[in-house]
Every structure is written in structure tokens, then in C-alpha cells.
């Protein structure tokens, strides 16, 4: 208890200290012997264009572009300050997107065009370091028309120029870097209708005397009077470019899950980890539980009857509800979201009720799906591996009209696998069309539909353990396969409407319906018979349906009160969930199964009604959040939510009294940024989750509540290419139901559980071509108050130590360019297999590997999961036959063409 209070006191003291500290405010000016910083204001751009973000072989020539002879200013080798920026100019404005980057050869070298979509003025601050010219553009971001960030890179574009790159160094700044081989390049800056134009000359020319900026008379000459030289034959040859889109990134600079606004991760006072599409592709992830293996503090929470989408344990607490694009999805473990439809997976750590309502305190997992693109995109893929696995897939997208106001995307896949357990065979079908309608300059409507079917003979949990620590073979099927099957169909459809009221205010409306229809049957083991080799077998058939309806409306706005900037969110949502469950069982006992000599031959039994269960849950929530920028480097997040929940249940024809709950869930956090690359944060948040049932005196159970204190540091290295998050937290969950010692037929709410720990996550690119995503978590999750279970027992399935590392390297130059290798290490420590801690699952280290080749539009790879065939347990359900074994050595070959 003293440690408990000490931990809380340290976190609270940290919060107060940051609040009272006088923040340092200043600008970092980098300089060296060859150059000094200065800023220029660039004129407007009026012609919006888009870029596909793919390698281009057909680049337009200088003669195809008409340059105005006005407002040309020179950035020379030894610049002097000109037009210093107005510090108030961009205050409160939105970030200007740069929708594409083009490189065109000229008679002097190459010109780099940064295409913008609006006419806002941009500031350009340049400096030189050694042989490198560097220009920073604050208030801008590289972003495709689809909303995806991207990176531009051109290697050896001309003689004596090593590389040209254009990158997002943070969510609000674009950096242009030109590297000369021996000398500093000469760079001219133009204001053109297409955007910002950097005229880059060979570094050899840079040794000539610096050019002076043009006079106003020169700038006002008509274009017809400006002589232009025709490009030479050599200059007509296309330049080979390497343009990498957001799919090439391992670190994502911003997300909307934590705040429901597009917010840089460094500005969020809570730990949130994003697994982007490129990581999913590189690892060849086949399920959602595999997707989060690289996130700290997240372990497999077990699956229901072999379901591919089961629960996860986040910071010590089981999380079963799924979220899709920021709103609640169905809670059924057979309700799938096809991996091929996922753009990225986001894990928000800690209580999230302030925006998402009733959830467990450990955190949530949100899936962001792929959206229609404004440029044509066609992808054909095929995967195959051992255990009879194969999966063809397609992903088509693009505009349906010339104005690009109607966009579509169509994704489909079929997955077939036999699995590593005897008699197992499943197939998964996914069909996911979507369409985006641009109904005007300020109105967008996205409509989507997704169908998945999970069908076959799933694996049967039951890796029986013995007193000597040995286990049965992982391929053994503990049940009767002829009495086992599953057929689960899920349909999801809905819309998202975005309506801009002005440049600073907008309304967002979501509506979604998800339905699941499942039929399954199993005949599995329950327990050993009198310590023999025989196990009891129970046969059951089930039929259940889940209908989930969700609606949400948000008002988002930006405004200022004096010098303080606000980003306001006001919202309301509702959720209705209806479940119908029917069960039948065999009318007589089935023959026992000998685990050492199983006989699977059996005749079909007669099934009789067992029980049925109906439930209906309705919830309404209203929330308010304000993201306050007190200073540029001091940000406050304040929010709160009111929830009202009503539940109705009928169990085998007996109605239970209606249960009504309400709760208020606050969140407050503070971020202090002593530099552009460091964010210190602290936060406090609460969660709630309704609990069904009644006390012995007839009173309805109160909702369980979670309270978290968190503090941490977020850092960016290597110009934002590599990011880390270090977090310390404590979560206390109260009102946990336990069995009443005085009346075993009832439960009471006196239980308490606590989880506290330290987490480290790292994502990004260490060197060109070398990417990494890794994590470490120390989790101390235990029972702190109980009657039945000993206080101090570890929570089920939670390891104290867990670590992961996935890294890839892709050769960037030469004949082997595009060839790459990947290595993954996944460690999970000892975990309690049963709630009484009498059995402990052993630790394990799994090794994954990959080799891949990317060239032009071809992607080919060979992935190996569990390279050394480690025998391990992935999860536990808390009973003797509720253990799940990890898959043995698995190999997958894949190929994908992008047309």
C-alpha cells in the first residue's frame, strides 16, 4: 500500500511540477562556417495537382512548363536574411498540404516542383551544412490527395549531386535537402502556378560567383521576353526517381484515435502506438492478434473456439471490443476485419472512455481501413505456404469520372488453410467495396460495405499439462472432429460525412451497422477422468446473432482566446447492441477420449435444448474535449464524457430487471516540449464498463471503474525518422465481481486489481533502407483486493516481461537494389495459466525472418514465422484445457503486382 501511494504521489508531483514550470521558449538556429539561417516568403500557388507517389519514368521537360518571370528570388551559396517571417502569420492556420513532388531536367540541372493545392503563402528558411543545401518549409506537409503522407527521394539526379530528398520532418514542417558530392549546390527559388520551384544546378557550377537576386524590373518582364534555352538530348533523358509513399514508413507522425482530431503523436499526453501498413506487409500478418505483436504491453488474450479475432490483454486487462475508424465495431470474436482492408492498426493505452464510452481500462485497438484513392491503383497478390495455406487478393482503386469527384476502392481476398492441428481446415472470404463522393468543395461522403465469411473446422483448445510440466503434442485434436464445425458471416456497412463549415470549423457524422450470424458445434474435452488418460467429452451446438448499430456526430473547430489556441471537439454518439444465443447439447454422455490413443469414430448424437439467452444494450454518450496550446511548446488536453447505459436480458425465458447505469469519465493531460524533438507528458484518465448481474440483496452491480496515472517522454531522432515513447503508468480497476463466500450462487463487488509498469516503443528508419519497430514492457498486474483469490496473485496470462523487435534492411543502390531482409524476435515471459496461479506457462522466444525483393511494380517475399520451431503457448483461457499453442515453423511465399 505504501508503494501504491508513493507511485501515485510521484506521478501527481510530476504533473504539478510541469504545470508550474516556466517553459523555455525559443528557436533553434543551426549554422556552420559555410552558411547561416534566413527566411523568405514565397508567393501563392493556384493550380492544384496530385502525384501518384510511385516511381516515374516519363518526366515532363522544361519546355512543357511555362514559367512566369515575376517574383523570382535567388537562394545562393552565401545568403543574407531577406523578408524575416512574421511570427503571427501562421498562427491558427491549417497546415498547407503539398500534394506532389516532381523533378524535371533543365539545361542547367534539374528543377524540383512542390505542388500545393491552395494559395496560402509559405515561408522558406534555408541554410547550408557542408555540401548540403537545406530548406525548411514550416506550416506545410507532404500529403497525397488520398490523405497519405509521403517521402520524395532522387539519387544521383545529375552530375555532382548525390541526392535530393523532400520529407516531413514533423507534422508541420517539410524539409528539402540537396546534397552535393564535393561542393555546395546552387539553388534558385521560383514562385510558379504549379507551386514552389527549386532550380538546382550541378555542384560544379556552384564554384562560380554567387548570383544576386533579380531586381523588380527583371522580375516584371513578361514571360515572352525571357529567353529560354532548349534542353539538350542528354537532358531529355528521364531521371530515375525513388518516391516512397506512406506505405514505406514505419513511424507515423500523427493519428486521430487518441483525440478524434488529426494530432501529432508528440502532442498527445498518452501512449499510443501505430502499426502502419508497411509493417503488416513486411511481416505478412494474417490476423489482428498478429498485427499487435510489436506493441509493448499487448499480449494474446485467447480466442473463442479458434476464432481468428479474439481478445487482447493490454496493460494487464483483457480487451475484447474492436473499433473501426474510430467508432465501435461488433464485439464478437468471429466478426472479422479482413487484413487486406487495413491501412494501419492503432493501440491507445490506458482508459479511453472519455471518447469511446464503455471499455476496459487497459486500452483499445482501433483499425483504420483503406480509403478510395484519387489516382488509379491496381494490385494483384498471391500468397502460399505450408499447412495448405494460400490466399489470392485484389485491391483496385481510382476515380470514376474525369473530375475525380467520385472515387472507388474494391478489395477482395480468399484465404484457405489447414492449420497445424489435426483435422483443422478453415477458409476466410473478404469482399470490401467503398466509394467516396466529393459533393462540393467542402463536403465529402464515404460509403462502405464489407462482407467476411469464416467457415470450416477450427482448432480445438486443450493443450493438457501434467504435473511434471510436460504437455501433449500441439497437433493433437482433443475432441471429436466430426462433431465440430463453424460458419460465421459478418456484414458491415455505413457512411462517413464530412462537412466543412469554414476553414476552421467542420461537422463529422458517422453511421455504421455490423451484423454477425454464427452457427458452430464442438465436442471437446473438459477434464481428466480420475487422473487417467481419458477425458470427458461434451457436445454442444450453438446458434447466435449479433446486431450492432452505431451513430455519431462531432463538431470540430479551431479558435483563439488571446494568444492561446484551441482545438475544440463536441460530440454525441449512440450504440445499440442486440444478441440472441441458442444452445443445444447431446442427450447422453459421449464416449471418453484417450489422449494417448484417441479413437475419433463416433455416431451423431441427438441434441436437445440447453438454454437460450437474449440481451439488448443501449448506450448514449456526450463528450467535450479541448486541446489548448498555451504556448508553442506547452499543450493542455482537457476532456470529459457522460454515458447512459441500459441493459435488458432474458435467460432461458426468465426476464431480468432492466439495469441502468451512468458514468462520467474525465481525462486531463499536459505536454511540455523543451525542444522540437522532445515531449514530456503526464496525464490522468478514467474508464467504466457496465457489469451485468445483481448483489444478493437485489441491487444491480455498479460499473467497474478504471483509474490511470501516466507520465512519459516522447522523442524524435534523425530529423523525425526515428521515434520513441517511454511511459510509466498505474491502473487500478475497482468494483470487480467475485463469488460470495456466504452464498455461492451469488457474486459481490469487492474486488480490486492493479497494473503498473514501464513501456518502451521505438519505430522508424535508422539509416536509408534500415527500418525498425520494437518494444519492451514490464507489467506488474496483480489482485489487490479479493476474498476467494489470494491477494497478490498475478492476473491471468500477463507476463512481467515482454519484448519484440522487427527490423528490415533494403539495399538502396546497385544491381541488388530492392533486395531486402527482415528479422523478428518476440519474447514473452512466464504467465499465470490459472487464476489461482497454481500453473505457470513457460516463457518463450520466437524468431521470424524474411527475404524480399521490390522493383518497380513487383513485390516478392518469403516469410518464415517461428524459424527455429519453438514450442510455446500463445494464450490461456484460465482452465486446464483452455491453453492455446503457438504455430510451429510456418513459411509463406508471396508476390504482388501493382499496375
Neighbours of 92 (CB within 10 A): 14
Cα–Cα dist 641/664, whole Å: 6
Which secondary structure element, helix H or strand E, spans residue 281, and what is its range? helix 277-283
Strand intervals (E) in 312-442: 312-314, 317-319, 323-324, 327-328, 342-349, 363-369, 377-385, 389-399, 406-417, 425-438
**Residue length, the chain?**
899
Question: What's the confidence (pLDDT) of residue 496?
Answer: 96
* Element (DSSP H or E) covering residue 218: helix 216-219
427-453 pLDDT tens trace: 999 999 999 999 998 999 999 999 999
Look up the CATH architecture of domain 367-898: Beta Barrel (2.40)
Identify the bridge partners of residue 822 per DSSP, sorted by sequence position.
808, 850
Q: Give residue 190's pLDDT.
A: 75
What pLDDT score was predicted for residue 861?
98
CB of 701 closer than 8 Å to CB of 663: no
Nearest to 735 by CA among 775, 774, 697, 700: 700
Q: Among the residues of 750-842, which ranges form H helices?
A: none
Q: Where are the domains of the chain?
A: 38-222+234-244, 367-898
Query: Within a 10 A sphere around the Cβ of 599, how many other Cβ atoms?
Result: 10
The CATH number corresponding to 38-222+234-244 among 3.40.50.720, 3.30.420.40, 3.40.190.10, 2.60.40.3500 equals 2.60.40.3500
Number of H helices, E strands in the chain: 6, 51
Strands 377-385 and 363-369: unpaired
- Going from the first residue of the chain to its last (899 residues), give the mean pLDDT of each consecutive group of 10, the final group possibly shorter: 45 42 40 39 37 37 39 34 38 68 82 72 77 84 72 81 85 85 81 78 47 40 39 39 52 90 94 95 91 94 56 87 82 63 94 94 94 93 96 96 95 93 91 96 95 85 59 82 91 96 95 93 73 79 93 96 96 95 89 86 90 92 97 97 93 82 96 96 96 73 93 93 96 84 66 95 95 98 83 91 98 93 98 84 96 93 97 78 84 95
Q: What is the pLDDT of residue 40?
A: 42
Residue where the block lists cell 445499440: 576
In which residue are the cell numbers 484518465 written?
A: 685
Q: If DSSP codes are grouped into helix, strand and coil, which group holds residue 564?
A: strand
Q: What grid cell was written down for 602?
A: 463416433
Which pLDDT belongs to residue 30?
Answer: 40
In the three-class reduction of DSSP (H, G, I as helix; E, B as strand; rest coil), residue 7 is classed as helix
d(CA 775, CA 777): 7
Grid coordinates belonging to 487: 460458419
What is the structure's pLDDT at 461? 59
**In sequence order, what are the residues at sequence separation of 6 or more whose Cβ sits closer than 8 angstroms to the Cβ of residue 849?**
821, 822, 823, 824, 863, 864, 867
What does the longest C-alpha to C-alpha distance in the chain come to?
Answer: 102
Q: Which three cell numbers stand for residue 701?
A: 452491480
pTM: predicted TM-score of the whole model, two decimal places = 0.75
Please tell me whether residue 11 adopts helix, strand or coil conformation: helix
Query: How confident is the model at residue 117, as a pLDDT?
Result: 60
Per-residue pLDDT at 243: 39
Amino acid at each position: 500500500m505504501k508503494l501504491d501511494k508513493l507511485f501515485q504521489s510521484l506521478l501527481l508531483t510530476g504533473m504539478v511540477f510541469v504545470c508550474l514550470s516556466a517553459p523555455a521558449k525559443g528557436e533553434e538556429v543551426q549554422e556552420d562556417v559555410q552558411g547561416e539561417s534566413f527566411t523568405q516568403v514565397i508567393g501563392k500557388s493556384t493550380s492544384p495537382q496530385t502525384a501518384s507517389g510511385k516511381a516515374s519514368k516519363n518526366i515532363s521537360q522544361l519546355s512543357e512548363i511555362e514559367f512566369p518571370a515575376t517574383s523570382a528570388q535567388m537562394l545562393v551559396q552565401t545568403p543574407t536574411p531577406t523578408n524575416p517571417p512574421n511570427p503571427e502569420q501562421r498562427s491558427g492556420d491549417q497546415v498547407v498540404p503539398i500534394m506532389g513532388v516532381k523533378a524535371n531536367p533543365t539545361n542547367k540541372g534539374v528543377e524540383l516542383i512542390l505542388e500545393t493545392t491552395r494559395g496560402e503563402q509559405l515561408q522558406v528558411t534555408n541554410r547550408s551544412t557542408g555540401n548540403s543545401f537545406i530548406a525548411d518549409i514550416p506550416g506545410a506537409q507532404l500529403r497525397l490527395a488520398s490523405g497519405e503522407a509521403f517521402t520524395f527521394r532522387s539519387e544521383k539526379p545529375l552530375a555532382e549531386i548525390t541526392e535530393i530528398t523532400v520529407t516531413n520532418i514533423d507534422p508541420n514542417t517539410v524539409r528539402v535537402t540537396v546534397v552535393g558530392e564535393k561542393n555546395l549546390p546552387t539553388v534558385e527559388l521560383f514562385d510558379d502556378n504549379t507551386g514552389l520551384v527549386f532550380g538546382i544546378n550541378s555542384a560544379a557550377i556552384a564554384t562560380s560567383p554567387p548570383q544576386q537576386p533579380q531586381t523588380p524590373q527583371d522580375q516584371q518582364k513578361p514571360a515572352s521576353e525571357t529567353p529560354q534555352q532548349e534542353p539538350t538530348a542528354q537532358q531529355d533523358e528521364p531521371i530515375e526517381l525513388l518516391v516512397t509513399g506512406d506505405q514505406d514508413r514505419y513511424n507515423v507522425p500523427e493519428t486521430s484515435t487518441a483525440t478524434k482530431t488529426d494530432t501529432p503523436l508528440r502532442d498527445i499526453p498518452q501512449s499510443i502506438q501505430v502499426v502502419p501498413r508497411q509493417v503488416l506487409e513486411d511481416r505478412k500478418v494474417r490476423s489482428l492478434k498478429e498485427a499487435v505483436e510489436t506493441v509493448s504491453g499487448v499480449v494474446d488474450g485467447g480466442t473463442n473456439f479458434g476464432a481468428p479475432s479474439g481478445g487482447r490483454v493490454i496493460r494487464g486487462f483483457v480487451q475484447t471490443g474492436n473499433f473501426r475508424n474510430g467508432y465501435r465495431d461488433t464485439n464478437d470474436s468471429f466478426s472479422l476485419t479482413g487484413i487486406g482492408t487495413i491501412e494501419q492498426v492503432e493501440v491507445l493505452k490506458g482508459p479511453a472512455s472519455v471518447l469511446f464510452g464503455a471499455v476496459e481500462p487497459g486500452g483499445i485497438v482501433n483499425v483504420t481501413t483503406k480509403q478510395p484513392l484519387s489516382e488509379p491503383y491496381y494490385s494483384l497478390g498471391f500468397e502460399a505456404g505450408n499447412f495448405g495455406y494460400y490466399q489470392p487478393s485484389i485491391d483496385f482503386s481510382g476515380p470514376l469520372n474525369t473530375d475525380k469527384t467520385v472515387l472507388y476502392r474494391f478489395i477482395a481476398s480468399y484465404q484457405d488453410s489447414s492449420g497445424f492441428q489435426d483435422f483443422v481446415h478453415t477458409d476466410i472470404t473478404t469482399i470490401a467495396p467503398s466509394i467516396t463522393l466529393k459533393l462540393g468543395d467542402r463536403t465529402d461522403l464515404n460509403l462502405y460495405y464489407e462482407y467476411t465469411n469464416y467457415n470450416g473446422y477450427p482448432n480445438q483448445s486443450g493443450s493438457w499439462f501434467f504435473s511434471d510440466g510436460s504437455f501433449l503434442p500441439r497437433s493433437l485434436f482433443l475432441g471429436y472432429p466430426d462433431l465440430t464445425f463453424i460458419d460465421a458471416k459478418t456484414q458491415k456497412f455505413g457512411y462517413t460525412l464530412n462537412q466543412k463549415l469554414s476553414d476552421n470549423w467542420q461537422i463529422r457524422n458517422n453511421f455504421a451497422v455490423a451484423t454477425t450470424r454464427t452457427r458452430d458445434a464442438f465436442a471437446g474435452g473438459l477434464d481428466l477422468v480420475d487422473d487417467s488418460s481419458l477425458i470427458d467429452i461434451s457436445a454442444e451446438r450453438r446458434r447466435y446473432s449479433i446486431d450492432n448499430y452505431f451513430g455519431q456526430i462531432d463538431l470540430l473547430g479551431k479558435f483563439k482566446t488571446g494568444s492561446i489556441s484551441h482545438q475544440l471537439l463536441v460530440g454525441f454518439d449512440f450504440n445499440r447492441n442486440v444478441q440472441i444465443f441458442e444452445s443445444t447439447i447431446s442427450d447422453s454422455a459421449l464416449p471418453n477420449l484417450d489422449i494417448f490413443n484417441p479413437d475419433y469414430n463416433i455416431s451423431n448424437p441427438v441434441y436437445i435444448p440447453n438454454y437460450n439467452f437474449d440481451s439488448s444494450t443501449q448506450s448514449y454518450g456526450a463528450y467535450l474535449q479541448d486541446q489548448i496550446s498555451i504556448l508553442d511548446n506547452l499543450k493542455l488536453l482537457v476532456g470529459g464524457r457522460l454515458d447512459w447505459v441500459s441493459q435488458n436480458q432474458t435467460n432461458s425465458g426468465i426476464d431480468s430487471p432492466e439495469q441502468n447505469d451512468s458514468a462520467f469519465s474525465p481525462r486531463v493531460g499536459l505536454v511540455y516540449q523543451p525542444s522540437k524533438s522532445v515531449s514530456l507528458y503526464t496525464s490522468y484518465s478514467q474508464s467504466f464498463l457496465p457489469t451485468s448481474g445483481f448483489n444478493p440483496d437485489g441491487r444491480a452491480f455498479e460499473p467497474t471503474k478504471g483509474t490511470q496515472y501516466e507520465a512519459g517522454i516522447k522523442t524524435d531522432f534523425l530529423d523525425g525518422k526515428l521515434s520513441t515513447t517511454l511511459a510509466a503508468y498505474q491502473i487500478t480497476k475497482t468494483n470487480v465481481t467475485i463469488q460470495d463466500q456466504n452464498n455461492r450462487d451469488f457474486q459481490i463487488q469487492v474486488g480490486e486489481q492493479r497494473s503498473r509498469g514501464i513501456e518502451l516503443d521505438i519505430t522508424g528508419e535508422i539509416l536509408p533502407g534500415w527500418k525498425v519497430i520494437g518494444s519492451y514492457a514490464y507489467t506488474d498486474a496483480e489482485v489487490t483486493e479479493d476474498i476467494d483469490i489470494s491477494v497478490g496473485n498475478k492476473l491471468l496470462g500477463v507476463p512481467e516481461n515482454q519484448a519484440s523487435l522487427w527490423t528490415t534492411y533494403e539495399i538502396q543502390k546497385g544491381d541488388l537494389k530492392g533486395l531486402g531482409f527482415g528479422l523478428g524476435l518476440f519474447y514473452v515471459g512466464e504467465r499465470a495459466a490459472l487464476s489461482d496461479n497454481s500453473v505457470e506457462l513457460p516463457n518463450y522466444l520466437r524468431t521470424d525472418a524474411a527475404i524480399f525483393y521490390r522493383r518497380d511494380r513487383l513485390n516478392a517475399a518469403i516469410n518464415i514465422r517461428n524459424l527455429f520451431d519453438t514450442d510455446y503457448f500463445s494464450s490461456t483461457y484460465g482452465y486446464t484445457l483452455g491453453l492455446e499453442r503457438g504455430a510451429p515453423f510456418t513459411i509463406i511465399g508471396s508476390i504482388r503486382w501493382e499496375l
